[in-house]
Copies of this chain bind each other. A is one copy, B any other.
């Protein structure tokens, strides 16, 4: 276990973890500065601190990779973030578009015991309010096999299981149209003109969604 990390250090670790999840390759200094909204100079500084603490491997100008310690630490932060989000929605009746910023604060609370008790209190949820998997106490994540809605062929039945875009406007759009987690649908038609999709949802209702929406919804085939 590392000694206590500062919130800044934790946020950098999370950013590096997030970027490397997407790319696989070593993470560039630049991509971190974009993700974190800080100057490249600040990133260089922090990179040195995190290397010092053996949380990342860094070869000058070659990019950053998390060490095992760094990765488990990052995963733990993700666990905390998603459990808190679940708590806020399930117990305090926040909506799924209100919880992210709060979880950004709560994820920095330091207590293994607290988070495990919270997990138990929530009855060991597997997914957070956005459909993202919640790592277990040992950092294990059970990825769901899922695809983007936009990748389904016409006629395919599917169920909504998650969102790629977590932004408030998108979540509120889904709220309005009823395309929430658990919603069942069939791909009715695909319009080549603008790649929009005609969906058949509950009660024979038809719903037209843009390409952008289809590219930000995760579904599971049925």
Residues of A whose CB lies within 8 Å of any CB of B are 88, 91-94, 102, 105-106, 109-111, 114, 117-118, 121
Contact = CB atoms under 8 A, between A and B. Distances in A.
16 contacts: A88-B114, A91-B121, A92-B114, A92-B117, A92-B118, A92-B121, A93-B117, A94-B117, A102-B109, A102-B111, A102-B114, A105-B109, A105-B110, A105-B111, A106-B109, A109-B109
Nearest to A108: B105
Contacts of A110: 105
Contacts of A88: 114
Contacts of A106: 109
Contacts of A121: 91-92
A169 to B, nearest CB: 20
Nearest to A98: B113
Nearest to A120: B92
Given A92-B114, A93-B117, A102-B109, 6 more contacts: A91-B121, A92-B117, A102-B114, A105-B111, A106-B109, A109-B109
